[in-house]
A and B are shown apart, each in its own frame.
Chain A
Amino acid sequence: QKEVEQNSGPLSVPEGAIASLNCTYSDRVSQSFFWYRQYSGKSPELIMSIYSNGDKEDGRFTAQLNKASQYVSLLIRDSQPSDSATYLCAVNTGNQFYFGTGTSLTVIP
């Protein structure tokens, strides 16, 4: 079982729609959770971090964490073509960081 699992996609949404990206993790003691965006040929860029259960909003992005279900998600409202990228979920467990394989998102104009 992988430590962090994401649907690889591709996920396609029309411009202006809500994109929903999901991530599950295996270790219940995981403490910190991160979403990164990675454009093709570029390095990961931090979008959001979340540490406690519930929702955290930052502009068009909302991260949701449910530790009981070992589930973290990212919602992107009013999706724009510039949001087209691979979204990586990362989990911090003790001293270890685990990344998922990423979900490819395409926003169609």
Chain B
Amino acid sequence: EAGVAQSPRYKIIEKRQSVAFWCNPISGHATLYWYQQILGQGPKLLIQFQNNGVVDDSQLPKDRFSAERLKGVDSTLKIQPAKLEDSAVYLCASSSARDGNNEQFFGPGTRLTVL
């Protein structure tokens, strides 16, 4: 079974530029999560999708961050405009809603550096 795929793996941009990250979850996983992990901290949940609907986005900075999951499979996370403090690893995870246990499996992450 293929794992969660993410791209790009690394991205360097200047502040005020925009950037987008892509995630493809494990096949059949209805729930998709985007996390931000700043160096030395645990992952922070930004947004959770169930199929193509948003379950929770309470910690998403909506003035600059947006995310979508069209057709309930792939998802994109966008930052526009980026700030220095957005430098972090952006992790995508997915879980199967069928078993109800919410075990999440993470992709390799995208390391963003904002200069």
A44 touches B33 (CB 8 A): no
Chain A residues contacting B48 (CB-CB under 8 Å) are 95, 97
Quick one: closest A residue to B59, CB to CB?
A96
Output the residue of B43, B44, B58, B107 with the most chain A CB within 10 A. B43
Q: B72: CB under 8 A from chain A?
A: no
Q: B residues 26-66 with Cβ under 8 Å of A?
A: 33, 35, 40-45, 48, 55-56, 58
Which range contains the number of B residues in contact with the other chain? Answer: 20 to 34
A92 touches B43 (CB 8 A): no
Q: B25: CB under 8 A from chain A?
A: no
Which range contains the number of A residues in contact with the other chain? Answer: 20 to 34
Chain A residues contacting B103 (CB-CB under 8 Å) are 34, 46, 49
Stretch at the interface among A14-22, A65-73, A99-107: A99-107
Q: A55: CB under 8 A from chain B?
A: no
A95 touches B55 (CB 8 A): yes
Chain A residues contacting B102 (CB-CB under 8 Å) are 32, 49, 92, 97
Chain A residues contacting B45 (CB-CB under 8 Å) are 96-98
Quick one: closest B residue to A4, CB to CB?
B42
A96 touches B101 (CB 8 A): no
Output the residue of B35, B42, B44, B101 with the most chain A CB within 10 A. B42
Chain A residues contacting B107 (CB-CB under 8 Å) are 43
Chain A residues contacting B41 (CB-CB under 8 Å) are 101
Chain A residues contacting B40 (CB-CB under 8 Å) are 101
Chain A residues contacting B58 (CB-CB under 8 Å) are 96
Determine the distance from Cα of A12 to Cα of B108 in the docked complex, in whole angstroms.
27
A58 smallest CB distance to B (angstroms): 13
Q: If the complex has contacts A51-B101, A88-B42, A95-B48, are A43 and B106 also in contact, measured as CB distance less than 8 A?
A: yes
**Chain A residues engaging chain B, CB cutoff 8 angstroms:** 4, 32, 34, 42-46, 49, 51, 88, 90, 92, 95-102
**Chain B residues engaging chain A, CB cutoff 8 angstroms:** 33, 35, 40-45, 48, 55-56, 58, 89, 91, 101-109
